Structure formats: structure tokens, C-alpha cells
A and B are shown apart, each in its own frame.
Chain A
């Protein structure tokens, strides 16, 4: 039986994979997006595109993300965003 810790880790992995795959498609990149990439400086992610990414993740993972708690200034990399989503979401 999976422990809460392993379930959380698996969920975070799913979020991270969904997020990188979705963003690679949204940005129409030939090279895949990776978790260590910086949102603004490296990917030029606008606030609007970031929200579109979150919306697609919600649909794909069937979750609701608690965006009210999202401090955009603390989100430097895709990994930061994926961790936030994993920790601040619930099944839709």
C-alpha cells in the first residue's frame, strides 16, 4: 500500500510531467521544457500564459488549483510552479 508520502511524491511527479508537456506544447518548442527552466527569464512566460498553463493542468489532472495562494514573485522555475500546484490543489 502506498504511504501518504509516496502518494504525494507520485502526484507531484504527475503534476510536473503534465506541466512540462503542456508548456512545451503551448510555447511550441522543439526542445522539451524542463523543471529547472526559469519562467520569466528563460521561457518568457507571461502572466496570461501562466494562467493558461494552470487551466490546462486543471483540465488534464481533473483538479482545482488554489490560485489565491499563488505568489507569482516566488515562482522562479517550472519546478517551483509544479511544487506549488501539487501542494495547493484538490480533486475537481
Chain B
């Protein structure tokens, strides 16, 4: 069963109040007030001196479990929201792989589901590893290591264009990165179920679907969350904590009303100080949950994300800590 072996997160220490971003983002005074008062967004991480590779490396450097295990890493997946993040021929993913001694791994990017790509990357990594193990007799390179193969999932982006900095009237993106080691059969943070709903019909190129997406956003997210729980044979009553995407406070306050789930069991702590850290939200919130002692061995938790952009993807995962 797919499992998260280790998670590391890096958030730039420099925080920028959203008021300071208003000019460059073209936000009105009312939009800034809405972000702060109802969306609960106060500041985001920014470090203009760090490259994307630097950012990802900072997260990977904190992954102690990777040291000495590089030979076991077969896949490096970079989950990101933005399709293009660097000018050709710069390739931050390959730069990071070289720096980490992972040139032997198959490295690729997962971006088609915007900010929900992080969850898809976990599912994909687990499937690839499980398939490799199933094929192990024919793959002598895998049979020699009883600990089994690993995948490394990287997430996090530089907020370098207008679209990568703000989603109008919805969220402000913050810089940060995460690195997560995934195994096919680990004992901790085991993936019990994954549900997603990919909706290309919410394409936002013309803006004509925006109102419908706003209307259907919460019911569709609730549907995948409940479907993931159902596939895991659980209900919301079994869930210790929800690790949300950091889109904004008001969305999750209303999700709690819709799901009839206590708001104090949704980890919203990082929204005011870090904003929406692209695909890294799950990992950022996981680390906070662990640091705050919110997860005990055996606790089940639910992760949820929405990727909106060229279409919309609603995704949820159930884990056992």
C-alpha cells in the first residue's frame, strides 16, 4: 500500500503583507480588504533571490530519510500547478536531481491537474512502484534491495507571473516547497483511498464558467472527499483532521458547514501566513499537523485539493498515520 515515508517542507522566512503586493497585482483596496477580512490571507512567503531550483533543494535538503537511500529512488515526480516555470533550456527538476545524486531516476513533471497535481503525483508514484515490485523477477535491479524502491515527490513554485501570484478574488499564492519520499508498501502514512473528479468543462479561458465553478465548487469537493472516505470504508466521524488546500478561510468555513465537520479539526493555520503554496499545501499542512501533535499513530486523516485553471480537478485522499 502506498505510503509517505518522509516529508520535508521549506517556506521562505521572508513574508510579504498582501497590501504590499496590491500595486504589482493590480488589486483594488476592496479586494485586499476581502482577502484579509474574509479569506484570511495576511501575508505570503517570497524570496526574490532564490531560484526555483534553490527552493526545491531547500525542501529536499531537509529530507534526512533520503540520505544514503538515493539508489532506491526510481522516480522523481515534480508536482506543480503552472505548466511552464523556467525558460528553455533551464530545467529545475533535472538540476535538483543532479544535485541530489538522483540522475539514475526517471524524472518527470505532473502539472495537468493544477494544484491538485500533488495528490495525483502521490497516487502515480505508488502505482509505478507497485508495478515495479510486481515485475521484480524480470527487473534484477530491484530484487537486490529488500527495502524496496522509492519515489521522490517535489512540489512548490516561484510566484513569478501574475497568474502564479493571485487567483482573482479567491487566493494569493505563496512561495515554498516540499519533498516527500513515497514507498509502495510502507508502514506509516499509508494511503487508504484516492478519489478525483477531473472537469475539463470548467475551463476558465473565457471566464464564462467562473460563476458555475464558484457555485459547484464546494459540492464537488465534498463529493470526492466523501467518495474517498467511502472507498476507504470510513466516514467523516473516523477522520481526526482534514488537511485542506490553502485556498482561503471562507471556502473551508463553508465546507465545514456543508460537511457538518468541526472547523477546529481542519488545519487552517497556514493560510494567513503562507497563502496557497501551490501543490505543496498538503505537505506543508501535514508537517504542521505533525509538529502540533495532531496526528497519533493509527489516526486517519483526509487531504483535499482543488486544481483550477484549464478546467478544474477535485481530489481527496485518505491516509492512516
Contact = CB atoms under 8 A, between A and B. Distances in A.
A55 B30 contact: yes
Interface residues of B, number: 15
Contact of B38 (A40, A46, A51, A69): A51
Contacts of B33: 55
B71 interface: no
Give the interface SS of chain B, mostly helix, strand, loop or mixed: helix
B138 interface: no
B266 to A, nearest CB: 11
A52 to B, nearest CB: 6
Contacts of B214: 46-48
Contact of A71 (B38, B250, B257): B257
A68 B263 contact: yes
A72 interface: yes
A81 to B, nearest CB: 14
Interface residues of A, number: 17
A46 B211 contact: yes
Interface of A: 40, 44, 46-48, 51-52, 54-55, 58, 67-73
Given A51-B38, A67-B250, 4 more contacts: A46-B214, A51-B34, A68-B253, A73-B258
Interface of B: 30, 33-34, 37-38, 169, 211, 214-215, 250, 253-254, 257-258, 263
